[in-house]
A = this chain, B = another copy of it.
Amino acid sequence: MKQSQLFSKTRKDAPKDEVSLNAQLLIKAGFIDKLSAGIYTFLPLGLRVMKKIENIIRDEMNKIDGQEVLMPALIPKDLWVQTNRWETFDALFKLTGGDEKEYGLGATHEEVISPLMKKFIFSYKELPTYIYQFQTKFRNELRAKSGLMRGREFLMKDLYSFHTSEEDLNDYYEKQKQAYFNIFSRCGLGDITHITYASGGAFSKYSHEFQTITESGEDIIYICPKCKVAVNKEIIDEQSVCPECGEKELEKKKAVEVGNIFQLKTKFSDPFDFKYMDERGEKKPIIMGCYGIGLGRVMGTVAEIFNDKKGLIWPESVAPFKVHLLVLGDKEEVRGSADKLYCDLREKGIEVLYDDRGESAGEKFADSDLIGIPYRVVVSDKTLDENKFELKQRKSNESKLITSEELFNILNTKH
Interface residues, chain A, with chain B CB atoms under 8 Å away: 5-9, 11, 33, 35-36, 39-44, 47, 50, 65, 67-76, 90, 93-95, 97-99, 101, 105, 112, 116-117, 119-121, 126, 129, 131, 136, 138, 140-142, 152-153
CA distance A50 to B72 in the complex (A): 14
CA distance A270 to B233 in the complex (A): 52
Provide a sorted-by-A list of 15 A–B residue pairs whose CB atoms are within 8 angstroms: A5-B65, A33-B119, A35-B72, A35-B74, A36-B74, A41-B71, A42-B70, A43-B69, A44-B68, A47-B68, A47-B70, A73-B73, A73-B136, A97-B140, A136-B136
Given contacts A42-B70, A117-B7, A136-B136, contact A76 B36 (CB under 8 A): yes
CA distance A131 to B274 in the complex (A): 45
Closest to A41 in B: B71
Given contacts A33-B119, A142-B99, contact A72 B39 (CB under 8 A): yes
Instruction: Across the A-B interface, give the 7 residue pairs with the lowest CB-CB distance, nearest first.
Output: A95-B95, A42-B70, A7-B129, A41-B71, A39-B72, A98-B140, A72-B153
Given contacts A74-B138, A95-B105, 12 further A-B contacts (CB under 8 A): A7-B129, A9-B120, A33-B116, A36-B74, A41-B72, A41-B112, A47-B68, A73-B153, A93-B97, A94-B95, A95-B95, A97-B152
Contacts of A98 in B (CB 8 A): 90, 140-142
Contacts of A5 in B (CB 8 A): 65, 67
Contacts of A117 in B (CB 8 A): 7
Q: How far is the CB of A18 from chain B (nearest CB, A)?
A: 13
Closest to A79 in B: B35
Q: How far is the CB of A350 from chain B (nearest CB, A)?
A: 18
CA distance A11 to B153 in the complex (A): 34
Closest to A95 in B: B95
CA distance A119 to B30 in the complex (A): 11
CA distance A119 to B140 in the complex (A): 27
Contacts of A99 in B (CB 8 A): 142
Contacts of A105 in B (CB 8 A): 95
Q: How far is the CB of A376 from chain B (nearest CB, A)?
A: 23
Q: How far is the CB of A45 from chain B (nearest CB, A)?
A: 10
Closest to A6 in B: B67
Q: How far is the CB of A330 from chain B (nearest CB, A)?
A: 16
Q: How far is the CB of A141 from chain B (nearest CB, A)?
A: 8
Contacts of A36 in B (CB 8 A): 74, 76, 101
Q: How far is the CB of A155 from chain B (nearest CB, A)?
A: 8
Q: How far is the CB of A305 from chain B (nearest CB, A)?
A: 23
Q: How far is the CB of A71 from chain B (nearest CB, A)?
A: 5
Q: How far is the CB of A150 from chain B (nearest CB, A)?
A: 13
Contacts of A67 in B (CB 8 A): 5-7, 44
CA distance A65 to B4 in the complex (A): 12
Q: How far is the CB of A403 from chain B (nearest CB, A)?
A: 33
Residue among A69, A90, A95 with the highest chain B CB neighbour number at 10 A = A69
> Are B69 and A42 touching (Cβ within 8 A)?
yes
Q: Which of B8, B75, B90, B97 contacts A120 (CB 8 A)?
A: B8
Q: How far is the CB of A358 from chain B (nearest CB, A)?
A: 10
> Are A152 and B74 touching (Cβ within 8 A)?
yes
CA distance A76 to B153 in the complex (A): 13
Contacts of A95 in B (CB 8 A): 93-95, 105
Q: How far is the CB of A205 from chain B (nearest CB, A)?
A: 30
CA distance A138 to B96 in the complex (A): 12
Contacts of A101 in B (CB 8 A): 36
Given contacts A93-B97, A142-B99, contact A50 B35 (CB under 8 A): no
